Structure 1
Amino acid sequence: MIEDWQHFLLPYQQAVNELKVKLRGMRKQFQDQDQHSPIEFVTGRVKPVDSIKEKMVRRHVLEERLEQDMQDIAGLRIMCQFVEDIYQVVDLLRQRNDMTILEERDYVTNVKPSGYRSYHIVIEYPVQLVTGEKKVLAEIQVRTLAMNFWATIEHSLNYKYQGAFPKELSDRLQRAAEAAFKLDEEMSEIREEIQEAQTLFGRKQAPDELLNSSLEDKKGAD
C-alpha cells in the first residue's frame, strides 16, 4: 500500500521539470539560429493521485506493478505548428541519449475511431536522487495546435459522458476532428510562406521569453 504519495511521485515531478527545461531548450536553439522551431511550446504535469487510483481500477493495474504498467504518471506535451513538425520532433527525440524510447504510437497517421490524433512516445528517463539513480516512465505527446484544441474539448466531454457519447455528439466530434485536420493540411500547403513570414516578423520583435515561459507554465498547470 502506497502511504506517502508525495514521496512516490517525487521522481516523476523531477522528471517532468527536467524534461520541460530540455525540450524548451531545443526550441531556443532553433530560435537562436534563426531557424523554424518544430516545437511551439511545451507543457508537463504529474498525474493527480485521484486520477492514478481511478486508472488503476479501470485498467486493472496492480499497485506493485504501478511503476511498470502505468506509463503516463509523468506526462509531457509538445505542441507544433505543422504536421511535418511532429515527425521532426520525433526524430529529434530518437537521437537523444538522455532518454530511452520504449514505445511509439502514431495516432496521426493511424487516427483513432473517435477522430483523436497525436503521436505518443513512452520513454524511460533517469532521474538523479540523493539515494541514487532512478529510472521512471514518462509519456510524451506530440501534436499540432489544432489537434490539441480538439483533444482538449473531447477530454472535457469525456468527463461528462464517461466515454459513452450520444451518437449525434460522437458524429459531430468526428466531423470536427476531420475539420481540424483539414486545417492542418491547408497550413502545411503554405508552410514555407508562413515560416518565412514568421522569421521576418520575429527579427523585428523584442525577445519575450519570460512571457512565453509564464504562459507555458500556466498551461502545464492545467
Structure 2
Amino acid sequence: MPKKQKAKIKQKNKCPEKLIRTEAAKEIAEIDRSLQDQKYQLRCRAAIDLLTAKLNMINADLSRKKRHVVINQISSRVKTAESIYTKLIRKGLEPDFDTARAELKDLIGIRVVCPFEDEVYEVADRLKAQGDVQIIREKDYIKNPKKNGYKSLHMIVEVPIYSSKGPLKEKVEIQLRTVAMDYWSVLEYQIFYKKTENEEVAKELKTYADEISELDAKMLTLRDKIEKM
C-alpha cells in the first residue's frame, strides 16, 4: 500500500467517531452514485445475462441426460455501496469506486445451487469449457471448508460484453454449492455474519455445518444406490 494511502487511513483512525461516520456516509454515497451509473448497470446486466444463459443451457443439457434438474436455482446480485465500502476499509484500501473496480473481483456475483456435490463440479467443468469464459481464480471451499464450516466452490471469471466501442471484459464471482450448503450459508449469514463475534455461537454453527455436510454426503450415496437399482 502506498505511504500516502497508509497515512490517510491512519489519520482517519484518529478522527472523532462522529466525523468518521459522516465521512463514511459521504464516501458510501459517492460509491453508490457510481454504482447507479446507467452504463455500469448495463455492463453488470450484460455479464449476468450472459452467464445466466450459459448456466441455463448447461442445466438443460445435464438435466436431460440425468433425468432430474441439475441446477435448482440461479440468483445474482451487484454488491451494494455499503458492502463495497466495508470491504475496501477492511482491506486497507482507498474507499472509492475506482479502487473497488480495480481491486475487488466480486462486485458482480452469481449463485448456483445444485442438488448434489458431484453436480456442482460438473456444472463448474462445463463453465470452464466455454471458450469465452476466462477463469481468473478458483477457490474450493467444498474440499477445503472455511473454519466456520462454510462450503462452496468459488470461481472468479471474466466474460466479454459488447458496446459501441467494441468488446469489454467484466469480472464476475460465481458461487456453486449444494442445496444443503446453501441452506446453512443463508441462515449463517442471517444470524451471524458481520455481527459481533461470539465463540459459543460460532462453535454451534460449525457443528451444524458438519451435520449438514454429513447429510449431504448420505443423500449423494443414497442417490447413487437408487440409480444402480
Taking structure 1 as the reference length, the TM-score comes to 0.79
Partner of 2:92: 60
Q: Does the 8 Å contact 1:24/1:41 carry over to 2?
A: no
Alignment partner, residue 100 of structure 1: 134
Q: Which range moved further: 51-60 or 101-110?
A: 51-60
Q: For 1:132, give the aligned amino acid.
A: G
Pair 1:6 & 2:36 matched: yes
**Whole-Å Cα distance in 2 between the matches of residues 97 and 37 of structure 1?**
25
Are the aligned partners of 1:27 and 1:39 in contact in 2 as well (CA < 8 Å)?
yes
Runs of 4+ off more than 6 Å: none
State the SS of the aligned residue for 1:79: strand
Quick one: which amino acid aligns to residue 44 of structure 1? S
* Structure 1 residues 111 and 90, CA gap change in structure 2 (3 angstroms): same
Q: Quick one: distance in 2 between partners of 1:34 and 1:180? A: 24
1:17-39 CA distance string (max 9 Å, x none): 22112211211223345644532
Question: Are 2:79 and 1:50 aligned?
Answer: no
**Contact 1:38/1:88, CA 8 A, preserved across alignment:** no
For 2:4, the equivalent position in structure 1 comes to none
> For residue 58 of structure 2, what is the amino acid of its counterpart?
M
Asked whether 1:81 is paired with 2:115, we answer yes
What is the RMSD of the two structures over their aligned residues, measured on CA atoms? 2.2
Contact 2:113 2:177 in 1 (8 A): yes
1:15 maps to amino acid:
A
- 1:189 to 2:221 alignment: yes
Q: Aligned to 2:106, which of 72, 78, 81?
A: 72
CA distance in 2, matches of 1:4, 1:92: 34
Amino acid at match of 2:128: R
Q: C-alpha separation between the residues in 2 aligned to 1:20 and 1:115?
A: 28
Contact persistence 1:82–1:188 (CA under 8 A): yes
Matches of 2:179 and 2:127 in 1, distance apart? 19
Question: For 2:181, which of 119, 137, 147 is the aligned residue?
Answer: 147
Q: Which runs of 5+ in 2 are unaligned?
A: 1-29
> Could you tell me which residue of structure 1 aligns to residue 207 of structure 2?
175
* Larger-Rg structure: 2
Higher relative contact order (Cα pairs below 8 Å, separated by 6+ residues): 1
> Are the counterparts in 1 of residues 58 and 123 from structure 2 also a CA contact under 8 Å?
no
Query: TM-score, length-normalised on structure 2?
Result: 0.76
Using the TM superposition, give the Cα deviation of residue 87 of structure 1 relative to its aligned residue in structure 2, in angstroms.
1.4
> Aligned in 2, Cα 1:84/1:182: closer, same or farther, shift over 3 Å?
same
Distance 1:16 1:184 in 2: 29
**Which residue matches 2:8?**
none
Cα distance in 2 between the residues matched to 1:195 and 1:155: 35
User: Which stretch shows the higher mean deviation, 79-88 or 138-147?
Assistant: 79-88
Residues of 2 paired with 1:32 and 1:109: CA distance? 28
Q: Percent identity?
A: 30
Q: Mapping of 1:106-185 within 5 angstroms?
A: 106-159=140-193, 161-162=195-196, 164=197, 166-185=198-217
The amino acid of 1:53's aligned partner reads Y
Q: Is the 8 A contact 1:15 1:127 kept in 2?
A: yes
Q: How does 1:190-205 map to 2 (within 5 A)?
A: 190-193=222-225
By how many angstroms is 1:113 displaced? Answer: 0.5
Deviation (angstroms), 1:84: 1.0
Distance verdict in 2 for CA 1:194–1:122, change over 3 Å = farther
Q: Is the 8 A contact 1:118 1:142 kept in 2?
A: yes
